[in-house]
């Protein structure tokens, strides 16, 4: 339990999970710990990668049921709603996580957006045993480094580690997608939507525009994305816009007007209202205190 901090901002909100350090890695996630999350869903503020080497977990990510089995790697991006239903067997999992504070201040937004796109509706990736073994060796090495190095060195490692794990997972997903049988039409729509959002979220937040580009109706796009991913189109677009805005506010000296312009808001007032609606504070408050 020592790795995760749970906070309930308001009674009507989901409990939020974050990490107390820029990055954390370990294996001491027991069935007993996971059982604490079987009664209610939680929302992740951090990003977590999980490798399962033994045991089974039935859970849901963004209200979609998932089955985690040996040799599976799971990517849980910030904002994901996560709930566990069942844990069986001699559980052996490794986790590597990055705190929301690190992600927002790291100026590595592109890597995060790639993760959101690649895992959209598919947070679980099944590896071949030899691939899972290589990943296990890599995580074991990181555990030794985490336990051996002082905090200053661990902090200095974070940018390269963050880039490396995202690049590695990206390669795994892209190679897996070329091997498996054709995806369903609904899944392909979601992938195409995710790709378009990646390319254009800083130009338009209009769902109808994305539907037109995909050659389908607004209603069909919204229904399909919700069914496959558990998220609305607006949720997906907003998550990318807000992640970019947070990163610029924390990792650059750009004025709020410049950040507003970079995300194609009509004016700074619209940007401020949009940001506050999604984050709960103004851009300036977030820059100074968030």
User: What is the CB-side half-sphere exposure of residue 76 using CA atoms within 13 A?
Assistant: 31
Domains 5-179 and 185-289 share a fold: no
Determine the CATH number of domain 185-289.
Answer: 1.10.10.60
Topology, domain 5-179: Jelly Rolls (2.60.120)
* pLDDT for 107 beyond 70: yes
pLDDT value of position 143: 96
The pLDDT value recorded for residue 2 is 41
CA-nearest of 48, 100, 41 to 76 is 48
| pLDDT reading at 69 higher than 60 | yes
What is the DSSP pairing of strand 42-44 with strand 16-18? parallel
| CB 225, CB 189: distance < 8 Å | yes
Sign of the CA dihedral with 20 first, then 271, 212, and 216 last: positive
> What is the pLDDT confidence band of residue 13, given thresholds at 50, 70 and 90?
low
- SS3 annotation, 210-279: HHHHHCCCHHHHHHHHHHHHCCCHHHHHHHHHHHHHHHHHHHCCCCHHHHHHHCCCCCHHHHHHHHHHHH
- pTM for this one? 0.76
Beta bridge partners of 5: 18
The rounded mean pLDDT for the chain is 87
pLDDT score, position 181: 55
- Is 17:2 a contact under the CB 8 Å cutoff? no
What lies within 8 Å, CB to CB, of 161 at 6+ separation is 23, 142
- Tokens 């691939």 identify what position? 131
List CB contacts of 142: < 8 A, sequence separation 6 or more. Answer: 25, 96, 161
pLDDT at 7: 36
Q: Domain locations in the chain?
A: 5-179, 185-289
Burial class of residue 22 in the structure, from the number of CB atoms within 10 Å of its CB (0-12 exposed, 13-18 middle, 19+ buried):
buried
Distance of alpha carbon 109 from alpha carbon 248, whole angstroms:
9
Q: What pLDDT digit, counting tens, does each position of 228-266 carry? A: 888 899 999 998 899 889 888 988 889 999 999 999 999
The dihedral over CA atoms of 124, 190, 63, 6, expressed in degrees to the nearest 10, equals 70
Give pLDDT tens digits for 192-217.
898 899 889 999 999 999 999 999 99
Average pLDDT of the residues in 149-171: 93
């Amino acid at each position: 339990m020592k790795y995760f901090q749970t906070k309930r901002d308001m009674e009507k909100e989901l409990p939020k999970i974050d990490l107390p350090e820029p990055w954390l890695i370990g294996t001491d996630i027991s069935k007993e710990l996971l059982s604490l999350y079987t009664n209610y869903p939680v929302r992740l503020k951090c990003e977590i990668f999980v490798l399962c080497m033994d045991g089974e977990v039935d859970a849901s990510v963004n209200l979609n049921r998932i089955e985690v089995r040996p040799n599976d790697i799971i990517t849980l991006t910030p904002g994901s709603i996560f709930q566990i239903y069942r844990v069986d067997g001699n559980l052996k999992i490794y986790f590597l996580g990055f705190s929301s504070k690190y992600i927002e201040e790291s100026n590595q937004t592109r890597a995060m957006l790639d993760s959101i796109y690649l895992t959209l509706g598919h947070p679980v990736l099944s590896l071949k045993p030899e691939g899972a073994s290589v990943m296990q060796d890599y995580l074991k090495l990181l555990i030794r480094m985490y336990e051996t190095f002082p905090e200053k060195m661990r902090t200095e490692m974070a940018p390269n580690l963050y880039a490396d794990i995202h690049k590695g997972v990206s390669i795994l997903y892209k190679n897996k997608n070329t091997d498996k049988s054709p995806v369903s039409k609904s899944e392909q729509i979601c992938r195409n939507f995710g790709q378009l959002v990646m390319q254009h979220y800083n130009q338009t937040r209009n769902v109808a525009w994305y539907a037109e580009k995909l050659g389908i109706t607004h209603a069909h796009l919204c229904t399909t994305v919700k069914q496959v991913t558990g998220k609305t189109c607006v949720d997906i677009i907003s998550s990318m816009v807000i992640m970019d805005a947070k990163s610029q506010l924390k990792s650059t000296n750009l004025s709020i007007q410049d950040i507003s312009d970079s995300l194609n808001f009509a004016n700074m007032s619209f940007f401020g209202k949009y940001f506050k609606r999604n984050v709960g504070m103004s851009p300036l408050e977030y820059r100074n205190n968030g």
